Amino acid sequence: MSTHFKTKYQTIIKASVAKVWDALTNPEVVKQYFFGTDLVTDWKVGSPIIFQGE
């Protein structure tokens, strides 16, 4: 008997690509849904994206 499991999950977001991108990259918007955290990054390739807060 195999013990390997695969799961697939899909989320459909009813919003434009631009609006979703803004929600993921705009620090003020991130604060609204991610418990007041600060989004810290310089957006350079390979740089970390840090959600910082208490």
Residue 36: inside a domain: yes
13 — pLDDT class (breaks 50, 70, 90): very high
pTM for the full predicted model: 0.66
Is there a domain that residue 10 lies in? no
Give the Cα separation of 43 and 24 in Å (integer).
12
Note down the domain range covering 45: 17-52
Q: In this structure, is residue 11 part of a structural domain?
A: no
Give per-residue pLDDT as tens, 21-35: 999 999 999 999 999
Where does the pLDDT of residue 50 fall: very low under 50, low under 70, confident under 90, or very high at 90 and above?
Answer: very high
Of the chain, the percentage scoring pLDDT greater than 90 comes to: 87
State the total domains in the chain.
1
Residue 1 located in a structural domain: no
Q: Please, what is the Cα angle at 43 between 31 and 22, to 5 degrees?
A: 45
